[in-house]
Structure 1
């Protein structure tokens, strides 16, 4: 994903909150550039993240795995990276200092403080030295902007070396601005524009989530460099509702025909 962001090829991802490798495998096989495994607002464990990552890697598609961790926690971050994922997304980055803490946590000494150990990322030790020597700077590192403080400091956050992308968290940011649940509120639009401008000035990418494909063109035209389009649970819900509508209409049509054919 990092190369796609650098090459400005508009990578598209999908959001995974169902903790099962089959969901990850199907998603990775469906022509998406990356999957985002959410461990902030789900019960997905690290062991499940590892199995979902294996499923993505086993697919024929060159799909990357990004994991959203619950917090800017160096312990959690190193354990996720040891799995061998392609990047991390970290919520509620509110200052440049927090962004620097994030970068420090995912880099090995002397550039950072990540603990050194073998694991899946090092092919269980077979590529231990090579991995440690080349890991720094190889992950897509995404800082979420989703609070008033983060928005206020977005220019400084974007300028931190090692931050590859910003991500507008639309739900939390709209809540922080007091406009959650409103349809296209101008306050959120203005906030998005500020984050987009800050990212452009710092020459880093910027993305967001949309669960409605009707919003994709607007988000691209607005200036976002990558999007997460849709969520696994939303896709399921929408498909079931659509099926129910078609089914009920078929029953109605059959009953209407039966009524019309009565003498």
Structure 2
């Protein structure tokens, strides 16, 4: 049995725009709905949501029925956590808070089997179709998409070195933490932050490295795409539920 190739990684490599959505609701039902909605990718968040491994597994299983590619943001640049997420079948990993070339290298090595990396070996997990894919070890490294997240001034200063790290398939700019790092916590739309985001997007585009970002509005998302960002989360499941429920209640306010 052969697994499907990582379409998300292939699309990034070919510079195709990938429209995604952030998922923090930790629900396999929500993940299934989103995966069938037409997005190119869905980010399953483990950093800022109460997502643990069993629930993440259920979400990955649910997404098999849809067309969106799952991307998992792990809670930290931790080889043990990354190994476990890969073993349950995730193939695209976003590693947060990368600030240096060395940290980018650590993220890459955690995602790859030896000799290229340090990922621990098991031949019976979901990733290898429970051992039925006899070529899994041969193909696994090529099929994993490694994304690193830059979200501080220190990280931006190392952008060239981080992006040039062999094995990094894309660089994600985190607007909220970047704003905090720049002294504008809670205000990623501050002019200084937006200038930094614009410059980072252009730099990555010039380097030929796919740039990603999360937007909290359609207007911002369109602006980031214009600035060269290639994998853009245009909203979140929490945002959709919050705004939709608020609008619905407001529509009955005078009844």
**1:72 match: secondary structure:** coil
**Structure 1: distance between partners of 2:188 and 2:151:** 18
Runs of 4+ in structure 1 off by over 2 angstroms are 180-184
Does residue 2 in structure 1 map to residue 9 in structure 2?
yes
Contact 2:198 2:224 in 1 (8 A): no
Aligned 1:153-192 pairs, distance under 5 A? 153-182=158-187, 184-192=189-197
Gapped runs of 5+ residues in structure 2?
1-7
Deviation at 1:197, TM superposition (A): 3.0
**Structure 2: distance between partners of 1:33 and 1:183:** 25
Does residue 134 in structure 1 map to residue 139 in structure 2?
yes
Does residue 18 in structure 1 map to residue 20 in structure 2?
no
Match of 1:53 in 2: 60
Does residue 121 in structure 1 map to residue 127 in structure 2?
yes
The 1:167–1:183 alpha-carbon spacing in structure 2 relative to 1, beyond 3 Å, is closer
The 1:183–1:175 alpha-carbon spacing in structure 2 relative to 1, beyond 3 Å, is closer
Aligned 1:64-83 pairs, distance under 5 A? 64-83=69-88
Greater displacement, 172-181 / 22-31:
172-181
Q: How many residues align?
A: 247
Does residue 205 in structure 1 map to residue 191 in structure 2?
no
**Structure 1: distance between partners of 2:188 and 2:44:** 27
**Structure 2: distance between partners of 1:201 and 1:212:** 26
Does residue 96 in structure 1 map to residue 110 in structure 2?
no
Greater displacement, 230-239 / 189-198:
189-198
Contact 2:204 2:211 in 1 (8 A): yes
Deviation at 1:215, TM superposition (A): 1.8
Contact 2:176 2:188 in 1 (8 A): no
Alpha-carbon RMSD? 1.3
1:106 to 102, 108, 111: 111
The 1:45–1:187 alpha-carbon spacing in structure 2 relative to 1, beyond 3 Å, is same
Contact 1:64 1:86 in 2 (8 A): no
Deviation at 1:65, TM superposition (A): 0.9
Deviations 1:183-206 (A, max 9, x none): 622211222123213322432100
**1:31 match: secondary structure:** coil
**2:141 match: secondary structure:** coil
The 1:37–1:183 alpha-carbon spacing in structure 2 relative to 1, beyond 3 Å, is closer
- What TM-score, normalized to structure 1? 0.90
**Structure 1: distance between partners of 2:83 and 2:207:** 26
